[in-house]
């Protein structure tokens, strides 16, 4: 079965897609459009230089006529304590916190389920485990938003960390070349701080 066919079969019955400026989520958007299904995009804008992808996300949404809802959360660090209460896991970068804020934005907007491009990197690298995916799922479960990850249905014979097969499909779908960008939030390492906060949580009665 081709990558296109696998993803088409894995698409859930929802028009909501969590999009960024990256390739993975927009492949899902274009596949939905290929089927003639309506699509609505949802994204989180942080305004953090070198990290926020709002400009590119908006450009793609305009290019493919996708209505885009933008949730604005410029201070990821302010939500760190809430994130730790949900996940009980120390993190070394603030990027996972964005998953909680996006999930909460979707919940507040009345979106009950959404699909996203998460898991694509892990699948194409051939990883058997990933620390980000369980955290992402925990954030969406906490918010009460059902998260669909169609890329988890994909199997590959050999690791393809550059996602050449996915980039070929993206070109077929009319997507422009989108370079891979790091998802780490610029700033100091926060691993020790999260460990300290989790220790304080564990020490509280009840």
Q: How many domains does the chain have?
A: 1
State the pLDDT at residue 106. Answer: 98
Residue by residue, DSSP assigns 119-173 as THHHHHHT-S--SHHHHHHHHHHHHT-EEE-GGGG---SS--TT-HHHHHHHHHT
State the pLDDT at residue 21. Answer: 93
The whole-model pTM stands at 0.89
What residue ranges of the chain have pLDDT lower than 70?
Answer: 128-130, 182, 184-189, 191, 193, 195-206
State the pLDDT at residue 204. Answer: 47
Domain CATH for 169: 3.40.50.620
CB-hemisphere CA count at 13 Å for 132? 18
State the pLDDT at residue 182. Answer: 65
Q: What is the pLDDT of residues 5-61, one digit of tens each?
A: 999 999 999 999 999 999 999 999 999 999 999 999 999 999 988 889 999 999 999
State the pLDDT at residue 91. Answer: 86
Token pair, residue 160, equals 């393809």
State the pLDDT at residue 103. Answer: 98
- Residue ranges making up the domain that contains 35: 3-203
């Amino acid at each position: 079965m081709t990558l296109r066919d696998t993803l088409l079969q894995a698409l859930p019955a929802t028009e909501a897609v969590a999009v960024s400026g990256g390739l993975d989520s927009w492949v899902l958007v274009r596949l939905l459009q290929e089927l003639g299904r309506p699509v609505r995009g949802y994204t989180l804008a942080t305004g953090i230089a070198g990290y926020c992808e709002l400009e590119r996300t908006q450009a793609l949404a305009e290019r493919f006529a996708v209505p885009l809802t933008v949730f604005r959360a410029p201070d990821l660090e302010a939500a760190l304590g809430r994130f730790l209460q949900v996940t009980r896991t120390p993190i070394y970068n603030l990027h996972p916190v964005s998953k909680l804020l996006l999930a909460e934005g979707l919940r507040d907007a009345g979106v009950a389920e959404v699909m996203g491009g998460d898991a694509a990197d892990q699948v194409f690298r051939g990883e058997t485990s990933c620390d980000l995916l369980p955290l992402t799922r925990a954030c969406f479960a906490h918010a009460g938003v059902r998260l669909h990850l169609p890329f988890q249905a994909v199997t590959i014979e050999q690791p393809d960390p550059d996602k050449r097969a996915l980039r070929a499909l993206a070109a077929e779908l009319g997507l422009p070349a989108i370079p891979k960008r790091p998802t780490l939030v610029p700033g100091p390492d926060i691993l020790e701080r999260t460990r300290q906060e989790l220790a304080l949580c564990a020490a509280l009665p009840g």
